[in-house]
Amino acid sequence: MFPVKSIAHKSHSGPKSGFWRSSILRIGGSSLILALLLTFLPFQQVWSAIKRLSPALGLGLLFVFLAIHLLGVVKWRLLINLAGADLNFFQAVRCYYGGLFGNTFLPSLVGGDLVRGGMAFVVSRSKTAVVLGSLVDRIQDVIGLAAIAATGAFLLPSSLDPQIRKIFWTVGGLLVFAGAAGVGSVFVLPVRKLPVIIRRIMVRLRRGIRSVQRHPGRVLLCFCLGIILQCCQVALNLWLGWICGLHLAFSLWLFAWPLAKLSALLPLTQGGIGVREAALVGLLAPFGASPALTAAAGLVFEAITIIGQLSAGAIALLMNRFSSVQNRPLPEISIFAQDGNKASNG
């Protein structure tokens, strides 16, 4: 019996130790990038720019951050319900805000998608619909960010180097091709030759994709909602830049900020912290932007994002408590039922 216990102990401790080890590495990566960024930049200038944001204005921006993500809730709920998930708005808000909370602690922005999907599994009618809708949602986000950056690049023909513009369009074309190939492979692969479990998953995915294809107008609406959400975040960064003393054209932010956010998809740091700020400094520096002021604006937005994600987690927890109380039978009703049973027995 002793060897069995030791083996079980090792099997349980292995994934936990691996999780904590990877978390420490990601936190260390974020800390290292931020430390290097603040080492090579004039810290006093960065701190002076950050202090220009008053606490009252920061609180207002926090509410704006949470409010604009309601567009993301509507978009995600439309997509997964098109595939057959059947979530109401209350459930969608709780799952989506729980996913925002997960972005703080899991690698890259995709980690929050796993938390959001896991919460939706419990209340949805179809787990496959949640997976498919969330996948389409993430693909739309990536394509939307690339489209916004392309719009910014189109508005900066004289400022953008021709070689960089060529590389940008090539990468964008490859992303679109990879997304189309991934969706097409679901229909091209010979399902009958696959194992039974994978065959069932493929059949469900095909049904979900066909369900989404039957409503192209709603899919386009979801894509537009995603574009509006990302543009609102670009405008929020533009405002923060102005507050910190960084006066740049909106087209510059349209070009640089989506690319910096796409860099956060790499699972190298904790929630993309550090990567976004460094990428933003590197992207805006060739256009004459002050690296210190750019870093200050990026750090302020990062602080608002982290506090907003933690607040989203608290909101999701309160909504979970509220839903559990709502579904709990009332004491008076149970007492009346007991009295009725006694009376009928008597």
pLDDT in tens, 105-131: 776 566 788 889 889 999 988 888 888
Quote the pLDDT of residue 197.
Answer: 53
- Got the DSSP string for 281-303? HHHHGGGT--HHHHHHHHHHHHH
Asked whether residue 91 carries a pLDDT value surpassing 70, the answer given is yes
The residue with tokens 């057959």 is 84
What's the average model confidence in pLDDT over 139-144? Answer: 85
Asked whether residue 1 carries a pLDDT value surpassing 90, the answer given is no
Quote the pLDDT of residue 343.
Answer: 45
| pLDDT greater at residue 4 or residue 325 | 325
Task: Kindly state the tokens that stand for 268.
Answer: 């190298």
Query: Binning pLDDT at 50, 70 and 90, where does residue 9 land?
Result: very low
Supply the DSSP symbol for 329.
P
Quote the pLDDT of residue 200.
Answer: 56
Q: What is the pLDDT of residues 197-250, one digit of tens each?
A: 555 555 556 665 666 666 678 888 999 999 999 999 999 999 999 999 998 889
Alpha-carbon gap, residue 316 to 101, rounded angstroms: 9
What's the average model confidence in pLDDT over 70-85? Answer: 90
| pLDDT greater at residue 318 or residue 160 | 318
Average pLDDT, the chain: 77
Q: Report the range of poorest mean pLDDT among 90-94, 100-104, 315-319.
A: 100-104
pLDDT over 70, % of the chain: 66
Tell me the one-letter amino acid at 276: R
Quote the pLDDT of residue 158.
Answer: 60
Alpha-carbon gap, residue 252 to 291, rounded angstroms: 14
Alpha-carbon gap, residue 112 to 103, rounded angstroms: 4
Q: Both ends of the chain: CA-CA distance in Å?
A: 56
Supply the DSSP symbol for 192.
G
Q: What is the pLDDT of residues 153-176, one digit of tens each?
A: 888 766 556 666 665 566 556 655
Quote the pLDDT of residue 11.
Answer: 44
Q: What are the φ/ψ torsions at residue 267 (nearest 5 degrees)? A: -80, 55
- 7-11, 27-31, 43-47, 192-196: which is most confident: 43-47
- Strand segments (E) across 225-330: none
Asked whether residue 286 carries a pLDDT value surpassing 60, the answer given is yes
What are the structural domain ranges in the chain?
Answer: 42-325
Mapped to the 3 state alphabet, what secondary structure does 243-268 carry? HHCCCCCHHHHHHHHHHHHHHCCCCC
Asked whether residue 303 carries a pLDDT value surpassing 60, the answer given is yes
What's the average model confidence in pLDDT over 262-289? Answer: 79
* Furthest CA-CA distance within the chain: 92
Asked whether residue 342 carries a pLDDT value surpassing 50, the answer given is no
Query: Binning pLDDT at 50, 70 and 90, where does residue 334 land?
Result: very low
Please choose, from the candidates 82, 186, 199, the residue with its C-alpha nearest in 3D space to the C-alpha of residue 130. Answer: 82
Q: What is the pLDDT of residues 249-274, one digit of tens each?
A: 898 899 889 888 887 776 666 667 77
Exposed / middle / buried, residue 151 (Cβ in 10 Å: 0-12, 13-18, 19+): middle
Contacts 24+ apart (CB under 8 A), 4-10: none
Quote the pLDDT of residue 162.
Answer: 66
Quote the pLDDT of residue 182.
Answer: 52
Quote the pLDDT of residue 330.
Answer: 42
The residue with tokens 């951050």 is 65
| pLDDT greater at residue 158 or residue 330 | 158
